[in-house]
Each structure stands twice: as C-alpha cells, then as structure tokens.
C-alpha cells in the first residue's frame, strides 16, 4: 500500500494565533513560559489535524519560533559574534535578536527561500565551531509521540543546503565547514535512530539548482557518511520547487527514499524517472499536490500521473505527498464565507490538500472505483470556474493583445529625459526621499477597522486619512526631505489595495501565509481577467500635492509584484497575467499624470521572486517582466519622472534587466545585504537615477548619521553623485513614529554632510 505524507504544515494557525503569540511576547505582554505553552498548543493542534485527516507520515520540526533556517543555525550554536552568547541552548532573546536586530546589534540578513515569498535568516558562519545545542528534531519527535501517540517524521535541513544558504565563510572553507557539521548531523540522526524514528526527511532543495562537481562530491560524502553511521534509519532525501538537476547522481545515493516535486518540477522529474527508471530499492516521495498553489488539483490528472509513476515504483514504495511544505499556502478554505461558490469550490488550502493527498493515496491503493464520486465533483468544480464570465472577458483580452504586440518605449532616451526633468524639478544634489509608506500606527489601524466595520462612514475615514497626510506632509517638509510622499495610510498592503480596486481579483478573509518572521501576507487571488475600473490612488496623491510646493511622488505597485504576491490562475500564462495587470496599471499612471502628479513610483520589490530557479528559463522571464514594467510606465510625458523600488533580494545578476526597465530613478534595498550590492555596481555602468537604501528599516534601531555617511561614501565611490538619491531601504509602515522621524532627520543630516563633499 502507498502511504501519504506532507513536507511541512503552515505554522501560523488558521487565525494567525502564532503571529499573535510571537508579537505579544516581543511586546512584553506575555512571558516566555506563556509563549512556549501557546506555541505548543498550536503545534499539537496541527499534528492532531493531520492525524485526523489520515496522513500516514506526519512531519515534525517543521514548526518554528521564527524561521526553520535560523532554527538549524541555532541548533548548531551558530550565532553571529556580535550577539552575546556563551554556548549552550541559544536563549530566546538571542534567537530573536539575530532575527530582528537589537539596540546593540544589527539583525542577520534575510533573504528569499528559493523562488518563494518566504524569507529566511541567512546563517552567518563567522568562526566559532558548531556544536549541538539541542537535538530539535528529537524533541519534536518525542513531543508528538508522548502527547499524541504519533509516529512522526522529523524534518531537518540537509547539510549541503544549509552550507550553500549560509554566508560568512570563504568558498575555500566549505569542506572545512562540512567537516565540522557532518559529525553533528550524524549525532542528531543517531539519536533519532536510537529513539526508534522510522523516517527522517532531510531537505535538500539545493539539488534543484545547478551544482558544481565539488558539491556533487560533497553530496556523496554526506549521504554515504549517513548510510554508514546510521544504517537503521530511513532517510527521505527531499527536494522541491523544481526538478532535480543531477538525477542519476541523486538516485545513486545510499538513501532509502527520494522526494521529487512533480508539480513545479513536473516535466523534468517525470522525464528523468522515465528515462532512467527509479531505483528499485528506494521509496519515491511523489510530490504531486501543489504545496504552493491554492487551486484544487484535478484528481483525475493526478491519478493518471500516479499511475504513470506506478510503472516505475511499486505501491509499497510510493509515498503520495505535497510538492513542498504547505508553509506557502493558507490553512483552510473552510472558514471563508465571502467567496463566490464558484471560486470557493475550486480552491484547496493546506487542510484541503491533506484531504486530496489522502484521497489519492486511497485511489492508488484501492483503485479508482473507490473515489468515483470525488473525481466527478472535482472536475465539475474546475470546469465551472473555467467557464465563468470573469475568466472570459474578450474586451480585455483583445485590448491587452493589441497593447502588448507593440514594443513599449518612452518617447526620449534617459539621458535626454534627465535634462528636461532636471530643468523642471530643480532638485538639489543628492535628493532625499522615502519609499512611500509611513508608520501604520495603532491610530491608523484602528481607524481602518472602524471604517471596515461600518462604524465610520466613508467621509469620516477619508477625513482621517487627509489629516494623516497633512501631518506627514508637514513633518516631511520640516525634516527637509526633497521629494515627498503621501504616506500610504489608506493601504493595508501594497497588493491588496490595488487588487480590491481592479476587476479579476478575489479576497479571502483568512488566507494568510508567512512571509518572514511574524509577518504574514494575505495574497489576493487573481482568478479572472484583470481590468482597470476607476482611479485608485489619485485622490490621496492629489490631496497631498495640494498641501505642499515640493513634488509628491505618486505610489503604485507594479504588475510583476502584484502578480508575484498574488495567487494566480493557472489557465493562462503568467506572462499574460502580467500584461493584463500592466495594461490596467498604465491607466492609473495616466490618471495620476492627468491629475498633475509628475513623479510616479511603480514599486517592483518582487521582480526577483518570480525568477525561475532554472537558469535557462530566467532570461525569458526577465524579458517579459521588464516589458510589463515598461508597458505600465512608458506613455507619460518626458518631464514625468518614473521611479521604481526594489527590495528583499539580490540584484547583482540582474542589473541589466533593471537598466532595461528604463525607470528614471530606482531605489534599492542595500543596507541589510551589508553593501554587497554596491560591489556589483562597480562592474556595471548603471547610468540612470539610483538610490541605494542607506539604512535598514526592518529594525527599530535609529541609524546614526555616521553609519549613513559611510553608506553614502561607499556608494559614491562607484556611482555618479549627480544621479544618486538618498533614501531608506524600504517603506516605513512597520516602524514607530518617533524612530521614523529621528531616522529621517539623521538621514537628511548625513545628506547635508555629503552635499558638502561631492
């Protein structure tokens, strides 16, 4: 009989209980013991659910107090030197210090988890030899067994992936680090084996990327060492997010199971299995239910795939599972009361995916006849959505086809635009600005709640927003910023805000997923053809502009970011969706310009998030992503200054694409990647306006003038002062008012110093 499994379950809870507990603890509202008990309750609840649904191999140690990569680092006592730590179990204060920064020490870098919107804390291997501070998988296994009688499957990040995702060491030290880590892994696995653990899932998603021979050698060393040291343990070597690059090498490893992604790596993995067969002595973890998408699977198609795989693997050696951890999808569709039946019926979040997995396991074990009714219902639901009017708007489809058939291009090249823009705007050297949002204080959030509940009418709420704008326009003038923003007080989220106003979007009530730490996002669902209906940002921006003589930058979220931060339909290509969004947003850009707004920022922080993991697919993606950005922004006058903003990731290998976007000014997050980006600009000749963020906004710490002076000087070694802008790393909505004002004052002071020098 085949077995069912998942690769991880969302940790945040159906009502974000997890987030609430973490934040209460950070705010000092609950003690550590209470945090522990609250989190345990959540954790056990999740295990219980999987047990009830009938999952055979339930994962443990997928839960975390913040991030599972950070957990792995602290399990090995890997704590950056700047934090007070003297060995032993890493105290929760240090753990959260690494994640979030403290008054004394900057947080560790945070970066994207492969091509997802999850961000992990980058381990810093800066010296001290690793040790085991606590066998976390074992603790988790014991808890599941003792409390619920579950024979669980502990998860651990594999050594190769862990090393490749860490920083702070030189490539030449990789083997030395592996040598230090490997015995620790062995000890952890031995302790698990002694405890009677049957299966352990070792996550090596790095195997879907291109590996050098040295790494393939390391891979072999690692798994041969495990096979020799813990022969009694079943190791499921788990990959996900794409097809594996080196199938034959991986298939030859002495492990008991190999987990492959047959959703995002469908074609490649299937081909590998078909061409090479699957090793007879191994279990195949068949990741066939999409751990990242929200749509109901076509059970018929999945069953056909399982049957195909069955030609290569006997049922006893088949595990039906999710393609990756369910961390990337919301908890359940069940609590949603506001979606249309047509849409709701076509959705499957984590809990519904558990059902799908169990059902498919049953079908492949007991025959199709056992699930005929379910198969039929499933196909009906999928068809109903496909035929809906929202998915078949020919007016939009034709307009977008016409616009996207032309090459989107601004009237003048940058060098000429720059001259007319400078004449018009008369900005000082090193103009200062911010990225858009100002603190969403308790007051702001409360006002929005009252309005949403209907206790405040539209007028009252709009008045409140105007008051906020007034306050912050005055503050910005007083601080001495050159290009102002209205502050985005009317927006909860930069994607949701636009989605609510465009056609083709739907919103869940509880569809949250973890983005980083306690930060959760509720991605909209693009389920129909996207269309512009009415101006979305003009009113507030125009109002802000009426209050000052300095320019106010209009603020939009770009097409690629909206797409990458939404759950999207799968019946048309992402490229098509991007063009629909671009066409809709272009109408907003034009509306802003018509209303007298002459600087417009189109944020694209998430461009890189959609970058395919396979290098050979990246150029094509970047090409249409850039085109979508240009489609959005190219119809404006020469004097209109188009800004864009990017953050959260590395850009060093996409500077050409950034250039091709042809924005007049780009602001990029840099401070948290500790200036590495600046380095890449040394090799390029980026010749358009650019602001490299001069301070980290993820931390409550107020940056000192001197620190920012250093950032500015470093950047200006490479970049032309005439094209350089000074701004924070990102929007300030998560920050407090006082720290924001102090930080910006220091930023302006640092700018004044720089203006004397350049």
The smaller minimum CB distance to ligand GLN, of residues 561 and 751, is found at 561
In whole angstroms, the minimum distance from the beta carbon of 448 to ligand GLN comes to: 15
In order of 19, 407, 661, the CA distances from 638 in angstroms are 46, 18, 16
Q: What token pair was written down for 494? A: 């930069």
Cβ contact 190:235 at 8 Å: no
**Residue with the shortest CB distance to ligand GLN:** 731
The smaller minimum CB distance to ligand GLN, of residues 108 and 561, is found at 561
Q: Which does 150 bind (CB under 5 to 8 A by kind): ligand GLN, Zn ion, none?
A: none
**DSSP H or E segment with residue 556:** strand 553-557
Residues 6+ apart with CB under 8 A from 336: 344, 347, 508, 509, 510, 511
The smaller minimum CB distance to ligand GLN, of residues 351 and 604, is found at 604
* Cα 399 from Cα 134, distance rounded (Å): 59
Q: What token pair was written down for 268? A: 């490649």
Residues contributing to the site for ligand GLN (CB under 6 A) = 435-437, 488, 494, 555, 603, 605, 645, 647, 730-731, 733
Distance, C-alpha 305 to centroid of its chain: 29
In whole angstroms, the minimum distance from the beta carbon of 113 to ligand GLN comes to: 17
| Per-residue DSSP letter, 571 | S
Q: What token pair was written down for 203? A: 């996550």
In order of 212, 302, 507, the CA distances from 340 in angstroms are 49, 26, 10
In order of 347, 592, 659, the CA distances from 642 in angstroms are 38, 12, 13
Q: Which does 448 bind (CB under 5 to 8 A by kind): ligand GLN, Zn ion, none?
A: none
From the list 449, 450, 434, the residue with the least C-alpha distance to 486 is 434
Q: Which of 68, 119, 328, 698 is catalytic?
A: 698
What is the Cβ-side half-sphere exposure of residue 347, based on CA atoms within 13 angstroms? 28
- Summarize the annotated binding site for Zn(2+) as residue ranges: 645, 647, 669, 730
The smaller minimum CB distance to Zn ion, of residues 602 and 647, is found at 647
Residues contributing to the site for Zn ion (CB under 5 A) = 605, 647, 730
* Cα 46 from Cα 65, distance rounded (Å): 15
- Summarize the annotated binding site for 5-methyltetrahydropteroyltri-L-glutamate as residue ranges: 16-19, 112, 117, 519-520, 565, 609
Residue with tokens 């999710």: 322
Q: Which does 57 bind (CB under 5 to 8 A by kind): ligand GLN, Zn ion, none?
A: none
In whole angstroms, the minimum distance from the beta carbon of 200 to ligand GLN comes to: 37
In whole angstroms, the minimum distance from the beta carbon of 162 to ligand GLN comes to: 28
Distance, C-alpha 551 to centroid of its chain: 32
In whole angstroms, the minimum distance from the beta carbon of 434 to ligand GLN comes to: 7
From the list 670, 553, 540, the residue with the least C-alpha distance to 601 is 553
Crossing angle for the helix pair 538-546 and 458-479, to the nearest 10 degrees: 50
The smaller minimum CB distance to ligand GLN, of residues 352 and 488, is found at 488
In whole angstroms, the minimum distance from the beta carbon of 594 to ligand GLN comes to: 21
- Summarize the annotated binding site for L-methionine as residue ranges: 435-437, 488, 603
Residue with tokens 């595990």: 319
* Cα 11 from Cα 325, distance rounded (Å): 11
**Sheet of 641-646, strands arranged across:** 553-557, 599-603, 641-646, 665-668, 689-692, 724-725
Q: Which does 436 bind (CB under 5 to 8 A by kind): ligand GLN, Zn ion, none?
A: ligand GLN
In whole angstroms, the minimum distance from the beta carbon of 669 to ligand GLN comes to: 8
Cβ contact 59:354 at 8 Å: no
In whole angstroms, the minimum distance from the beta carbon of 668 to Zn ion comes to: 9
Q: Which does 496 bind (CB under 5 to 8 A by kind): ligand GLN, Zn ion, none?
A: none
Q: Which does 10 bind (CB under 5 to 8 A by kind): Zn ion, ligand GLN, none?
A: none
Residue 486 is among the residues annotated as catalytic for this protein: no
Cβ contact 688:664 at 8 Å: yes
In whole angstroms, the minimum distance from the beta carbon of 494 to Zn ion comes to: 9
Q: Which does 555 bind (CB under 5 to 8 A by kind): ligand GLN, Zn ion, none?
A: ligand GLN
- φ, ψ for residue 627, nearest 5 deg: -60, -40
Cβ contact 182:132 at 8 Å: no
The smaller minimum CB distance to Zn ion, of residues 256 and 727, is found at 727
Residue 176 burial (CB count, 10 A): 12
Residue 522 burial (CB count, 10 A): 18
From the list 715, 742, 740, the residue with the least C-alpha distance to 726 is 715
* Cα 36 from Cα 77, distance rounded (Å): 20
In whole angstroms, the minimum distance from the beta carbon of 494 to ligand GLN comes to: 5
Q: What token pair was written down for 8? A: 């991880």
| Per-residue DSSP letter, 671 | G
Provide long-range contacts, Cβ within 8 A and 24+ apart, for 79-88.
79/128, 80/105, 80/108, 80/124, 80/126, 80/168, 81/126, 81/127, 81/128, 82/106, 87/131, 87/133, 88/133
Angle at 117 between CA 354 and CA 72, to 5 degrees: 80
The smaller minimum CB distance to Zn ion, of residues 279 and 675, is found at 675
The smaller minimum CB distance to Zn ion, of residues 68 and 608, is found at 608
* Cα 282 from Cα 254, distance rounded (Å): 9
Q: Which does 494 bind (CB under 5 to 8 A by kind): Zn ion, ligand GLN, none?
A: ligand GLN
| Per-residue DSSP letter, 334 | T
In whole angstroms, the minimum distance from the beta carbon of 626 to ligand GLN comes to: 18
The smaller minimum CB distance to ligand GLN, of residues 49 and 491, is found at 491
The smaller minimum CB distance to ligand GLN, of residues 343 and 730, is found at 730
Q: Which does 70 bind (CB under 5 to 8 A by kind): ligand GLN, Zn ion, none?
A: none
Q: Which does 560 bind (CB under 5 to 8 A by kind): ligand GLN, Zn ion, none?
A: none
Instruction: Determine the straight-line distance between the first and last CA of the chain, rounded to whole angstroms.
Output: 73
- Summarize the annotated binding site as residue ranges: 16-19, 112, 117, 435-437, 488, 519-520, 565, 603, 609, 645, 647, 669, 730
Q: Which does 609 bind (CB under 5 to 8 A by kind): Zn ion, ligand GLN, none?
A: none
- φ, ψ for residue 56, nearest 5 deg: -75, -50
Cβ contact 117:606 at 8 Å: yes
The smaller minimum CB distance to ligand GLN, of residues 63 and 489, is found at 489
List active site positions: 698
């Amino acid at each position: 009989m085949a077995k069912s499994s998942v690769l991880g379950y969302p940790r945040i809870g159906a009502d974000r209980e997890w987030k609430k507990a973490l934040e209460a603890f950070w705010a000092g509202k609950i003690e550590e013991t209470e945090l522990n008990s609250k989190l345990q309750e959540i954790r056990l609840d999740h295990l219980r659910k999987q047990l009830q649904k009938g999952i055979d191999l339930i994962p443990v140690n997928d839960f975390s107090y913040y991030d599972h990569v950070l957990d792995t680092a602290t399990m090995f006592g890997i704590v950056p030197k700047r934090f007070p730590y003297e060995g032993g179990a890493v105290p929760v204060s240090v753990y959260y210090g690494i994640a979030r920064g403290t008054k004394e020490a900057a947080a560790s870098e945070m970066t994207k988890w492969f091509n997802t919107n999850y961000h992990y804390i980058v381990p810093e291997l800066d010296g001290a030899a690793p040790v085991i501070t606590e066998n976390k998988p074992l603790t988790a296994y014991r808890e599941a067994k003792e409390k619920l009688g579950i024979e669980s499957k502990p998860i651990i990040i594999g050594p190769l992936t862990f090393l490749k995702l860490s920083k702070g060491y030189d490539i030449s030290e990789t083997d030395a680090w592996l040598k230090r880590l490997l015995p620790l892994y062995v000890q952890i696995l031995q302790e698990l084996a002694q405890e009677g653990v049957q299966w352990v899932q070792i996550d090596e998603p790095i195997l879907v990327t291109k590996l050098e021979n040295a790494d393939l050698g390391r891979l072999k060393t690692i798994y041969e060492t495990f096979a020799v040291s813990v022969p009694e343990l079943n190791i499921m070597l788990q990959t996900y997010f794409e097809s594996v690059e080196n199938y034959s090498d991986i298939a030859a490893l002495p492990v008991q199971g190999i987990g492959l992604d047959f959703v995002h790596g469908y074609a490649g993995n299937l081909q590998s299995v078909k061409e090479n067969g699957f090793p007879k002595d191994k279990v195949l973890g068949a990741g066939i239910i999409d751990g990242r998408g929200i749509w109901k699977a076509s059970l018929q198609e999945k069953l056909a795939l399982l049957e195909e795989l069955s030609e290569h693997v006997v049922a006893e050696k088949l595990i039906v599972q999710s393609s990756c951890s369910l961390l990337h999808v919301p908890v359940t569709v069940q609590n949603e009361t506001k979606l249309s039946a047509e849409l709701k019926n076509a959705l499957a979040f984590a809990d519904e995916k558990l059902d799908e997995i169990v059902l498919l396991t049953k079908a492949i074990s007991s025959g199709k006849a056992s699930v005929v009714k379910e198969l039929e219902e499933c196909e009906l639901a999928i068809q109903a959505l496909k035929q809906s009017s929202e998915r078949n708007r020919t007016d939009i489809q034709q307009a977008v086809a016409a616009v996207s058939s032309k090459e989107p291009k601004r009237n003048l090249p940058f060098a000429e635009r720059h001259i007319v823009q400078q004449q018009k705007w008369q900005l000082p050297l090193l103009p200062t600005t911010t990225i858009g949002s100002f603190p969403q204080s308790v007051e702001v959030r409360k006002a929005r709640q009252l309005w949403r509940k209907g206790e405040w009418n539209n007028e009252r709420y709009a008045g409140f927003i105007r008051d906020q704008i007034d306050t912050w326009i005055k503050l910005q003038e007083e601080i001495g910023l050159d290009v102002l923003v209205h502050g985005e007080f009317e927006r909860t989220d930069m994607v949701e805000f636009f989605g609510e106003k465009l056609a083709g979007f739907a919103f869940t009530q509880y569809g949250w997923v973890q983005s980083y730490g306690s930060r959760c996002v509720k991605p909209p669902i693009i389920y129909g053809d996207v269309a512009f209906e009415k101006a979305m940002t003009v009113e507030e921006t125009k109002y802000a502009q009426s209050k000052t003589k300095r320019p106010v930058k209009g603020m939009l979220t770009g097409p690629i970011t909206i797409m990458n931060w939404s759950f999207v339909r799968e019946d048309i290509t992402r490229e098509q969706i991007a063009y629909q969004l671009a066409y809709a947003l272009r109408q907003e850009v034009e509306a802003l310009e018509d209303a007298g707004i002459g600087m417009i920022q189109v944020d694209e922080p998430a461009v890189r998030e959609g970058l395919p993991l396979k290098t050979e697919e990246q150029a094509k993606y970047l090409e249409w992503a850039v085109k979508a950005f240009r489609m959005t922004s190219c119809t404006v006058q020469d004097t209109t200054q188009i800004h864009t903003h990017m953050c959260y990731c590395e850009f060093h290998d996409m500077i050409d694409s950034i250039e091709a976007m042809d924005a007049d000014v780009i602001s990029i997050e840099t401070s948290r990647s500790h200036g590495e980006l600046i380095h890449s600009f040394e090799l390029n000749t980026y010749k358009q306006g650019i602001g490299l963020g001069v301070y980290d906004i993820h931390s409550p710490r107020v940056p000192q003038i001197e620190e920012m002076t250093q950032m500015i000087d470093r950047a200006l070694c490479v970049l032309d002062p005439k094209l350089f802008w000074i701004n924070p790393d990102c929007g300030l909505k998560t920050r407090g008012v006082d720290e924001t004002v102090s930080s910006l004052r220091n930023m302006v002071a640092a700018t004044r110093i720089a203006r004397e020098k350049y």
